[in-house]
Amino acid sequence: MMLLVFTLSLCVLKMGGVSASVTQATVQSELQCHDWGVRSEGSVRVYDGEVTYIYCPLFSPPTLYNYSQIQNSSQSLLWYRHTLTDEQEQPINLKLHTMHKDGEYLWIQPASAQDAGLYICMIRNISSCVKMGVKLEVVQKDGECNLTAQPHLNVTIPFQSERTLTCPDLNTLTLPNSTHSVSWSHLCRTREFRYDRELKGDDLVIYRMFEPFASLYMCVVSYQINGRKLQFTRYINVIPVVPDIGSKVPVILNPASDQIFTVTLGDTVTLSCRVHLPHLYGEKQYIWWTVDNTTVEQLADPRFSSPEDTLVSEDYGDEVKDRFLYVRDFSSDDLQREFNCSARNSRGFISSRAVLKTEPYVPTLELGCGLGVTLALMLMMFVIYHVFWLELLLLYRSWFGSDERYTDDKQYDVYISYARNSEEEEFVLSTLRRVLETEFGYSVCIFDRDSLPGGTITDDTLRFVGQSRRLVVVVSPCSAVRGTQALLELQAGLTSMLHGGSLKVVLIQFKPVKRKSWVKELRQARLALTLIRWKGEKSAALSSRFWKQLQLELPMRRDTQHKHTQLPDITQHTPDTHTQNARQAEEKLIHSYSTSVL
């Protein structure tokens, strides 16, 4: 009978439990909960196997909730967890020995890799619901100490002052009926603190702050609960700062009293305000711009903008910050405005005015176009000169050159010196002489044609060379050989040039000649003489480079009308040409002889 009664009672309890669960789930599904998202300060990081807590972010600013008010009202504080494997939020089982709720804190003692995820703090009653999440990250501990760890607390200590360091969260955790210990280390080195630093109970006291006492401190709290050994690690970053003595008024570095900002009308102007802010513990200092004694925010002009100040440098708490003022479409009316940079803290106020002047207008586009056109013209002129330099020199000489016939008393324009062989003689008489006399109008002297019988070769050669303005030497393997008349003519011309005469020697390379086969006189004078190469059929036309170079070296003729006719092939010499030349030479010889007799 007793067994039956116990069985019926157990069934009733089970049915009641099921109904309560169904009712709670139904109410939660019907009530829409306002989600505040995830805490913006970042996630909570904890080492694997250590104790951590999660603070409900609904009790932190800017929310208006207070845990004391929650306790005195019908609202409840609930904790949920959402992991990657769970599609929905799951309530946290606080009966687990690792989970412990202490007011607005949720303690995990200790945390493991399975505890990572999103923890949701929810405040609700029958008519309202609000929730906010916090991420928990469980990381593996890299050794006993980590110098690159993110500090849990930053502490600023003035030089030569005293400060007591307490391990963070030690007083937050309730440790009922348990003993605990706190160990300290500096820069991951466990040492016995002496002299100006001393351990007092759980705290570390710095009696006088020095530079070597700065940087990272680590404290490890160890305790036992229900026979389980637990611990958590915290890091404190100690920052030395200048003591609060002397003047702490801000100093404006820029704009200075003698500084002038150069602006360009129509552009966006940037004005920089750089301020040195002395360290003041726990105090905010301000930097701002004013336009005609009105702040940029009050001005409400979209052309003016001034973002928040930025940190330039920091030295033991003293900061140097910049704040910029941007003025779009700067106009001449803005030059009449008053731009002031101001800074203030509890110790004083300072202001400095920015002096502006317009930048002289520089026609950048016009200068760029002009420079481009100039460079293009210079390049074009360089190309033209490189290709047509002979034509340009001939044109210049025709305009500004002088006719040597009016400045000397010489009889011949050109004296032609060549080796006495059939091939060179044919080139000289059929091509070179004919073009110079017929086409260019020069008076040409050829010894074999113009000399009189019975004279001395040496005297006649020197006389002909001395009466000529140019000596054209046809260079070939047979020319300028020792003991020949060609060498005598070359020596006479070089001697005349050496003694400052008006004679100029021009070399025409009829056939390629090795430099070693040249006579000594020709090798020595080669660097100072002009060498023009005859290239056969390519040089036959009067428009070829050969005749232009040769004409450039010969005397100028202003009254000469050139007859541009095609030259005959020098390999096809006709007897009529030799006969005509011989007849002209004979007539000149008879005329000269008759003149001498008379």
C-alpha–C-alpha distance, residues 556 and 558, integer Å: 7
C-alpha–C-alpha distance, residues 120 and 7, integer Å: 39
Helix (H) or strand (E) holding 30: helix 2-30
- Sort residue 195 into left (φ over 0), alpha (ψ -120 to 50) or beta: left
* CA-to-CA separations, 49 to 39, 84, 118, 141, in angstroms, rounded: 24, 21, 19, 9
38 three-state secondary structure: strand
Per the annotation, the verdict on 162 as an active-site residue is no
Q: What string of DSSP letters covers 259-328?
A: -EEEE-TTSPEEEEEEEEE---TT---EEEEEETTEEHHHH--TTEE-PPPEEEEEETTEEEEEEEEEES
209 and 160 Cβ atoms separated by less than 8 Å: yes
Q: Which of 110, 118, 73, 67 is nearest to 92 (CA)?
A: 118
User: Which among 137, 404, 489, 586 is annotated as catalytic?
Assistant: 489
- Both structure tokens of 328: 């779009």
Give 157's contacts (C-beta < 8 A, 6+ positions apart).
Answer: 163, 206, 209, 213, 238, 239, 240, 241
CA dihedral defined by 221, 223, 228, 229, rounded to 10 degrees?
50
Residues acting as catalytic residues: 489
